[in-house]
Amino acid sequence: MNKFRSLNIRKIQFSSDLHSIRLFSATSASYDKFKCKALVVGGGTAGCSIAAKLASVFGKNECIILEPANDHYYQPMFTMIGGGMKTLSQVRRSMASVLPKKAKWIQDAAVRFDPDDNEVITKQGHIISYELLIIAVGLQLCYGKIPGLEEALSIPNGNVTSIYSPKYVDRHLNALNRFENGNIIFTFPASPVKCPGAPQKICYITEHFLRKTKKREQAHIMYNSSLPTIFGCKAYADALWKVANGRSIEVNLKTNLIEVHGDKNVAVFASMDNPNEKKSIEYSILHAVPPQSPPQVLLESKHLTNEAGFVDVDKATMQHVKYPNVFALGDCASSPNSKTMAAIAGQVGVLNKNIESFLKGKPLRSEYDGYASCPLVTGYDSCILAEFDYNLQPKETFPFRQDVERYSMFLMKRDFMPFLYWHLMLNGWWNGPASFRKLFSLFKRN
Ligand SMILES: Cc1cc2nc3c(=O)[nH]c(=O)nc-3n(C[C@H](O)[C@H](O)[C@H](O)COP(=O)(O)OP(=O)(O)OC[C@H]3O[C@@H](n4cnc5c(N)ncnc54)[C@H](O)[C@@H]3O)c2cc1C
């Protein structure tokens, strides 16, 4: 680490100029310069898992993790919190406790990527140079893109809820406990989302909650999705239509939430086919899923990203298409898989092998096939375990039919997955269920 105390060299890069320009400024602050073998930007699911693998190979402090947050959340449990099956404190751990001990954590955010000079500039003005860069900054939640939504979510004990953020996740159960009668509306935004199954899971959990508390007849439940289909993979879409129809949930496709009037409890929707076709609906509870996008730093890094702002990687190797020493994984990568933790488990082993080959100057042979899984919890005792690949073809692990609701899959989601996450995945020891699939295939009936 070098300290620029006397000169305080600050690196500033103009957005139109890919080559950096160093400016010298006489401020009282000091900026550090760090150097490492591997720089992992983001310490969420993806960053933490890959850093654990790399740090154990490269040795103490040769891997730096750049991550601003104090806390790490196991986000797949947010749906369970919405139904009162878990609490926020059960799914939160301090960042310091989950990041690999052999890696160096810099608690700061990347504000500029300079892949031509192999450097990343941080918000506090530090410069980190690397041999390898792994980008894992996830997706940002853009509640502000829907007029009135943030205001409605700020009303104490209000009727608008959202399990997507730790800030709001507790509101849903509170609203359910207060519910007496009326419309309960669930939304799916017109943007990429993490876990595209989650907006539906919370809807089915809510429906079961109302049956359990004898309030089902007082509720009209609507699932309004901007998508043209209920779920991307047809095998599970068929199963989900049965669940929704069987429970009298009104499903409106190509219907996008565009405005919320929290003071009047009214949500405005527009047709995806004709944006001028609008409909206002009064709600007793509105569960809103925010539009999502890659974080700002990527939206401003055009040289690294595709048009939508995702890090432009080869979808099989996860290596950047222009900069060979840059890789990405997780929700911010351009690979067209369903953005889930399960997908990251599939990517992390591939990435680890390809990085090893890259460092040895060999061709990258390990390939990610787009595997993603979504435990579609449909209530307090049932779950459909969806598993599929880039072609949206089922890629199932277990030797029984997975397109039906099962108690065993619910238990796996609620009780086993958290253990797997905290103890195996974040320590770099879980590369997805491929070897179990192989084993179970011996018992599969065709
Ligand atoms: C409600 C909900 C339910 C879900 N259910 C499931 C499920 O059942 N199964 C499943 O497999 N997946 C599920 N997921 C999805 C899963 O949680 C995500 O796909 C996964 O966490 C993504 O990991 P990531 O590391 O890419 O992003 P994140 O875990 O979001 O981490 C990104 C990290 O990058 C950091 N960061 C951001 N910007 C910067 C910057 N400029 N510099 C440095 N660091 C930065 C952030 O602070 C953050 O810690 C669910 C998600 C939600 C929200």
Q: Is the CB of 387 under 6 A from ligand 1?
A: no
Q: What pTM did the predictor assign?
A: 0.93
Distance CA 179, CA 207 (A): 12
Domain ranges of the chain: 2-139+294-359, 143-291, 373-441
CB 100 within 8 A of CB 51: yes
User: Quick one: pLDDT at residue 195?
Assistant: 97
| Nearest atom in ligand 1 to 343's CA | 11
CA distances from 294 to 137, 165, 343 (A): 8, 16, 17
- Nearest-5° Cα angle at 256, 254 to 258: 160
Spatial distance between the Cα atoms of 381 and 374, rounded to a whole number of angstroms:
16
For position 278, what pLDDT does the model report?
98
68 lines ligand 1 (CB under 6 A): yes
Annotated catalytic residue, options 48, 195, 233, 332: 195
The number of the ligand 1 atom at minimal distance from the alpha carbon of 46 is 25
Specify the ligand 1 atom closest to the Cα of 49: 25
Minimum-distance ligand 1 atom for the alpha carbon of 413: 8
- Asked if residue 346 has its Cβ within 6 Å of ligand 1, the reply is no
- Angle, alpha carbons 251-249-147 (nearest 5°): 55
Q: To test the ligand 1 pocket, which listed residue (191, 202, 341) has its Cβ within 8 A of the most ligand atoms? A: 341
Q: Is the CB of 77 under 6 A from ligand 1?
A: no
Contact 94, 70 (CB under 8 A): yes
User: Domain 143-291: which topology?
Assistant: FAD/NAD(P)-binding domain (3.50.50)
- For residue 215, how far is its CA from the centre of ligand 1 (angstroms)? 34
Ligand 1 atom closest to residue 66's alpha carbon, by position in its atom list: 43
C-alpha 30 – ligand 1 centre gap (Å): 32
CATH superfamily name and code, 2-139+294-359 = FAD/NAD(P)-binding domain (3.50.50.60)
Question: Does the beta carbon of 42 lie inside 6 Å of ligand 1?
Answer: yes
DSSP strand pairing (110-114 vs 119-122): antiparallel
Q: Tell me whether residue 63 is one of the annotated catalytic residues.
A: no
What is the full per-residue pLDDT of the chain (446 aa) written as tens digits?
A: 444 433 333 333 333 333 333 333 334 456 789 999 999 999 999 999 999 999 999 999 999 999 999 999 999 999 999 999 999 999 999 999 999 999 999 999 999 999 999 999 999 999 999 999 999 999 999 999 999 999 999 999 999 999 999 999 999 999 999 999 999 999 999 999 999 999 999 999 999 999 999 999 999 999 999 999 999 999 999 999 999 999 999 999 999 999 999 999 999 999 999 999 999 999 999 999 999 999 999 999 999 999 999 999 999 999 999 999 999 999 999 999 999 999 999 999 999 999 999 999 999 999 999 999 999 999 999 999 999 999 999 999 999 999 999 999 999 999 999 999 999 999 999 999 998 998 988 887 65
Helix (H) or strand (E) holding 120: strand 119-122
User: 83 CB less than 6 Å from ligand 1?
Assistant: no
**Amino acid type, 68:** P
Ligand 1 site, residue 297, Cβ cutoff 6 A: yes
Q: Given this model, what pLDDT does residue 29 score?
A: 57
pLDDT score recorded for residue 31? 78
Q: Is 383 a catalytic residue?
A: no
Residue 400 pLDDT: 92
Distance CA(284)–CA(178), nearest Å, equals: 10
Judge whether 127 and 11 are in contact, CB under 8 Å.
yes
> Which of 195, 344, 377 maximizes ligand 1 atoms within 8 Å of its Cβ, making it the mutation to test the pocket?
195
